[in-house]
Amino acid sequence: DQQVKQNSPSLSVQEGRISILNCDYTNSMFDYFLWYKKYPAEGPTFLISISSIKDKNEDGRFTVFLNKSAKHLSLHIVPSQPGDSAVYFCAATDNYGQNFVFGPGTRLSVLP
């Protein structure tokens, strides 16, 4: 029973265009959502997060949107760069920061 789903295992985008990565969750107790980026042979690196009291959070080229009623969030990367090529994980927690649940990841390839 996957509580956090990333239904696209992979995504290819041209350099300079927008990358949109999607994430759906089922547990309404989740209050805080995070995106992590992972390069091969490294641990995940925190990218951006959003609390359930917001519907948008922006940090440079990265924006996360949260639609709480649809239990859906998305990560937008604009403009996409070849260095963004990595696996992106969506994660959720109940804001007590105890039990984090990760999605299976989406592999983003940004083509030059």
Which helix (DSSP H) or strand (DSSP E) does residue 98 occupy? none
Closer residue to another protein, CB minimum distance, 21 or 36:
36
Of 2 and 14, which has the nearer Cβ to another protein? 2
Cα 94 to Cα 51, 77, 85, 111: the distances in Å are 10, 26, 29, 36
Q: Tokens 């949109």 label which residue?
A: 20
Shortest separation between residue 47's beta carbon and another protein, angstroms: 10
Distance CA 101, CA 84 (A): 23
| CA angle 61–91–79, rounded 5-degree value | 15
Closer residue to another protein (CB): 15 or 62: 62
Q: What minimum distance in Å lies between the beta carbon of 21 and another protein?
A: 13
CB of 96 to another protein, least distance (A): 9
Does 57 help bind another protein (rule: CB under 8 A)?
A: no
Structure tokens at 3: 């509580």
Q: Does 44 bind another protein (CB under 8 A)?
A: yes
Picking from 108, 90, 80, 107, the residue whose alpha carbon sits closest to that of residue 26 is: 90
- Check residue 75 for interaction with another protein (CB under 8 A): no
Query: Which residues contribute to the site for another protein (CB under 8 A)?
Result: 4, 9, 32, 34, 36, 41-46, 49, 89, 91, 93, 95, 97-105
